[in-house]
Chain A
Amino acid sequence: MSEERETRLFMISPDSMLTPDQLVRMVHAMGMEATVKETCYGCLVEGPSKLVREILAAVREKYPYEVFSKVRAYPCGDPRRCRAQHGTRPGFAQLEAEWAALPLIEHGLKCSDEGKKYKAHEEEKQLPLDDFKKICEASR
């Protein structure tokens, strides 16, 4: 990861009452030398890596369950990625789907912090062929 530039997206979970505007104001209030751009899902923050990480830590502390974040490869407003230039890039729909799943993750994080035990994943087994055969034969 480049130490020079870090572009990071902050995404607000859809069931949160927090608005992108409030999030942007919170980041601005930190008075850091970083670019903050409000978006429909939250905001983009761009600046030297060290500063952006400080902002991330502050956002995580204030909104531990409702704001999620990852880095972005392309800088803010890069025409190669910009939706206004030629329509959405392939990753757009993925991000949209991840956004929709955030309330579930939020729930998982809360339960985990409360020390709740989770159930191990059970794979759904297919009906054994012999059993299926019996059912077919029975319904003949």
Chain B
Amino acid sequence: MTIKIAQLSCGTEYSSVQYEIDKAARSVGAKVVYPDVSFEDINEAVKRFGFNPRSPQLKLMIARAIKLADKKYDADAVFITSCFRCAEAALVRNELRRFIQENTNLPVVTYSFTERLKAAQLLTRMEALVTIVTKKDLLARERQTGLTAGLDSGSSTTKAVIMQNNKIIGKDWTSTGDVVKSAQQVLENAMKEAGVEFKQIEALGTTGYGRFNLGKFYNAKLVQEELTVNSKGAVWLADRQRGEATILDIGGMDNKAITVRNGVPDNFTMGGICAGASGRFLEMTAKRLKIEIEELGKLADKGDWRNAKMNSYCSVFGIQDLVTGLGEGKSFEDVAAAACHSVAEQVYEQQLQEIDVRHPIIQVGGTSLISGLVKAVGEVLGERPIVPPNSQYIGAVGGALLSSGLL
């Protein structure tokens, strides 16, 4: 069966990205379609929707969304996309996302592109859309059952979790070296903690960059992209399975922000923008200050970033500012707080602008254990994020939870 993805868009044909969109859809067994609307439909739709954008193509987007809401056009999923940095389109894009979610059962993802469209990000979105359509029942699962395992093979760390009857009974992580060996090691340790043997495990789910490799090695029941798996894991851990939320993962190398509704992702941003906006910046700062990274977080809690202002977000010049500050007699606390604030602010300015931040914010990943960073994110976003227990294990938990649905 070919999944029909209705495209509601502005600017794709004049940004040279339409071909990439069609290609990404095809590669996951889907096809892009455009809900048919007439001239009259457009006028009526804009009036009914109540938002009258100046750009004609945005009016057309609205009319197409209304066709879907009225069930006058048959599609399986919705992809809403427009040019990055267009304010008018960003407003319409987000309101249409909400409108589609309130008026249909169709899964929807949104995306803002530049001409340098990130093909991998687009593909992950398309893959997630198709997953949401084809594995709807599986994603509706809110409780883990039986005895299952989840493996998250990330770019910097590998995590394993053993779950039984909706509880985590064993877990471990290590930095990723050889994909299979790292997974074997953490799974072994997690099983030891849980007091179970491999043959007792009823199902195993893999996610992350190494998911295909591990899926093959362990003959896993579930091999799934991290967008849907991490979302499920995060809302399970934070006990926020219903309603909307933003999942923020400031990684060692790249950052992810996923918006979810009832545990199902509808947009995400991933990058890759600058080392100064990652956990690596905090590691480098800690090293330069000759303190442990855990200590940096605790110091930052007590400090005030305003006392040690930085002139740069950069991991070279920014750290130089901090060291100079120390030389001028600024306290370690204030300098640590400034480092955390710098990362949080840059993540907000460069990355969270691409999505609509929804509340609550659930902060996950290894860096969510650095309390000063969580505090800084809270200050920047105006709300302290929820950090669930075991927040670094979202992918593995999601894998164990979802694979239990395949028993």
Direct contact of A and B (CB under 8 A): yes
Could you tell me which residues of chain B, from 14 to 68, have a CB within 8 Å of some CB in chain A?
31-39, 41-42, 57, 60
**Total of A-B residue pairs, C-beta within 8 Å:** 28
Contact A93 B34 (CB under 8 A): no
Whole-angstrom distance between the alpha carbons of A3 and B42 in the complex? Answer: 37
Q: A87 touching B39 by the CB < 8 A rule?
A: no
**In the complex, which residue of chain B has the Cβ closest to the Cβ of A83?**
B36
The residues of B that contact A94 with a CB separation of less than 8 Å are 39
Closest residue on chain A to residue B4 by CB atoms: A86
Shortest distance between the CB of B112 and any CB in chain A (Å): 19
**CB–CB A97/B39 < 8 A:** yes
Residues of A within 8 A of B57 (CB): 90
Q: How far is the CA of A56 from the CA of B35 in the complex (A)?
A: 34
**Residue in A83, A86, A93, A100 whose CB lies within 8 Å of B60:** A93
B35 touches A100 (CB 8 A): no
By a CB distance below 8 angstroms, the chain A residues around B13 are: 90
Chain A hits for B32, CB < 8 A: 86
> Considering the chains assembled together, what is the distance between the CA atoms of A96 and B57 in angstroms?
15
Interface residues as binary, A101-125 with B (CB distance below 8 Å gives 1, 0 otherwise): 0000000000000000000000000
Q: How many residues of B contact A (CB 8 A)?
A: 15
Residues of A within 8 A of B38 (CB): 93, 96
**By the criterion CB–CB under 8 Å, are B42 and A87 in contact?**
no
How many Å lie between the Cα of A42 and that of B15 in the bound state?
32
Q: Are A86 and B31 in contact, with the CB atoms below 8 A?
A: yes
Contact A86 B33 (CB under 8 A): yes
Q: Determine the distance from Cα of A47 to Cα of B31 in the docked complex, in whole angstroms.
A: 32
Check if A96 sits within 8 Å of B34, measured CB to CB.
no
B33 touches A88 (CB 8 A): no
Residues of A within 8 A of B35 (CB): 87
**Given A93-B42, A93-B60: A88 in contact with B31 (beta carbons within 8 A):** no
CB-CB under 8 A for A90 and B60, given A96-B38, A100-B39: yes
B67 to chain A, nearest CB (A): 10
Q: How far is the CB of A99 from chain B (nearest CB, A)?
A: 9
Q: Determine the residue in chain A with the shortest Cβ distance to B57.
A: A90
What separation, in Å, do the CA atoms of A83 and B38 have in the docked complex? 13
Nearest A residue (CB) for B10 = A90
Give A residues with C-beta under 8 Å from B.
83, 86-90, 93-94, 96-97, 100
List the 6 closest pairs (A to B, CB-CB), nearest first.
A87-B34, A96-B39, A93-B39, A97-B39, A86-B33, A87-B36
